[in-house]
Amino acid sequence: MRAALSGDQEAYQQLLVAITPHLRTVARRSLSVSAAADVEDVVQDALLAIHLKRASWDATRPIAPWLNAVVYHKAIDALRRKGHRGEVEIDSATDIAAAALDGDRAIDVETALASLDERQRLIVEQMSIQGRTAAEVGSALDMSESAVRVALHRALKRLARRFNGSNS
Amino acid sequence: MKTDAFIQALVQDLTTPVVPVAASLKRVMPLAAVSTAIAFLVSAGLRPDLLASGLKPTAIKVGLGLLLAVGGLLAAVRLARPDAAIARSAPLLLLGPAFALMAVAAELVTGGAGTWQSRLWGHSFLVCLMVLPLLAALPLIAALYALRHGASTHLEAVGAVAGLGAAGIAIVTYGLFCNEDSALFIATWYLLATCIVCLIGAVAGRVVLRW
* Average pLDDT value for residue range A72-93: 67
Across the interface, of B5, B16, B211, the residue whose CB is closest to A129 is B5
Whether A126 has its CB under 8 Å from any CB of chain B: the answer is no
Nearest CA in chain A to B208: A168
Eight-state DSSP code of residue B190: I
Q: Rounded CA gap, B187 and B191, in Å?
A: 6
Lowest mean pLDDT among B11-15, B70-74, B143-147, B203-207: B11-15
Across the interface, of A48, A65, A103, the residue whose CB is closest to B10 is A48
Across the interface, of B15, B82, B207, the residue whose CB is closest to A66 is B82
Cα four-point dihedral sign A168, B2, B3, B9: negative
Longest dimension (CA), chain B: 75
Q: Are residues A122 and A89 in the same domain?
A: no
* Average pLDDT value for residue range B77-85: 93
Whether B209 has its CB under 8 Å from any CB of chain A: the answer is no
* Average pLDDT value for residue range B118-147: 94
Nearest CA in chain A to B209: A164
pLDDT at A76: 86
Domains: count for chain A: 2
Nearest CA in chain A to B148: A53
Across the interface, of A44, A55, A113, the residue whose CB is closest to B3 is A44
| 44-73 of A, contacting B, C-beta below 8 A | 44, 47-49, 51-58, 61, 65-66, 68-70, 72-73
Q: Are residues A27 and A101 in the same domain?
A: yes
Q: Are residues A37 and A96 in the same domain?
A: yes
Contact at CB, A129 and B19, closer than 8 angstroms: no
Tens of pLDDT, residue by residue over B31-56, are 999 999 999 999 988 887 777 766 78
Contact at CB, B18 and A106, closer than 8 angstroms: no
Amino acid A151 reads: A
Whether B19 has its CB under 8 Å from any CB of chain A: the answer is yes
pLDDT at A53: 94
A22: domain CATH number is 1.10.1740.10
Parse chain B into domains and list their residue ranges: 18-208
Average pLDDT, chain A: 79
Amino acid A87 reads: E
Nearest CA in chain A to B13: A153
Helices A134-141 and A145-165, packing angle to 10 deg:
100
Contact at CB, A55 and B20, closer than 8 angstroms: yes
Percentage of chain A modeled with pLDDT above 70: 79
pLDDT at A89: 47
Q: Are residues A129 and A140 in the same domain?
A: yes
Question: Rounded to a whole number, what is the distance in Å from the CA of A128 to chain B's nearest CA?
Answer: 5
Q: At which of A105, A124, A140 does a domain end?
A: A105
Q: Are residues A85 and A142 in the same domain?
A: no
Q: Are residues A146 and A90 in the same domain?
A: no
Q: Are residues A91 and A111 in the same domain?
A: no
Q: Which chain B residues touch A49 with a CB distance below 8 Å?
A: 151, 211
Lowest mean pLDDT among A24-38, B130-144, B151-165: A24-38
Nearest CA in chain A to B10: A51
Whether B204 has its CB under 8 Å from any CB of chain A: the answer is no
* Average pLDDT value for residue range A99-110: 51
Domain residue limits at A64: 1-105
Q: Does the pLDDT at position A90 exceed 70?
A: no
Q: At which of A50, A74, A105 does a domain end?
A: A105
CB A140 within 8 A of CB A126: yes
Q: What are phi and psi of A141, to 5 degrees?
A: -100, 5
Helices A118-128 and A145-165, packing angle to 10 deg:
100
Q: Which chain B residues touch A131 with a CB distance below 8 Å?
A: 5, 8
Q: Are residues A70 and A148 in the same domain?
A: no
A167: domain CATH number is 1.10.10.10
Q: At which of A87, A105, A123 does a domain end?
A: A105
pLDDT band with cut points at 50, 70 and 90 for residue B190: very high
Q: Which chain B residues touch A128 with a CB distance below 8 Å?
A: 1, 5-9, 12
Whether A129 has its CB under 8 Å from any CB of chain B: the answer is yes
Q: B204 or A33: whose pLDDT is higher?
A: B204
Q: Are residues A5 and A61 in the same domain?
A: yes
Q: Are residues A29 and A99 in the same domain?
A: yes
Q: Rounded CA gap, B174 and B135, in Å?
A: 8
Q: Are residues A71 and A121 in the same domain?
A: no
Question: Rounded to a whole number, what is the distance in Å from the CA of B90 to chain A's nearest CA?
Answer: 19
Q: Does the pLDDT at position B153 exceed 60?
A: yes
Eight-state DSSP code of residue A59: T
Question: According to the per-residue pLDDT averaged within each range, which of A83-97, A146-160, B47-61, B152-166 is highest?
Answer: B152-166
Q: Rounded CA gap, B29 and A26, in Å?
A: 37
pLDDT at B120: 87
Tens of pLDDT, residue by residue over A43-56, are 988 999 999 999 99
* Average pLDDT value for residue range A80-86: 64
Q: Are residues A56 and A33 in the same domain?
A: yes
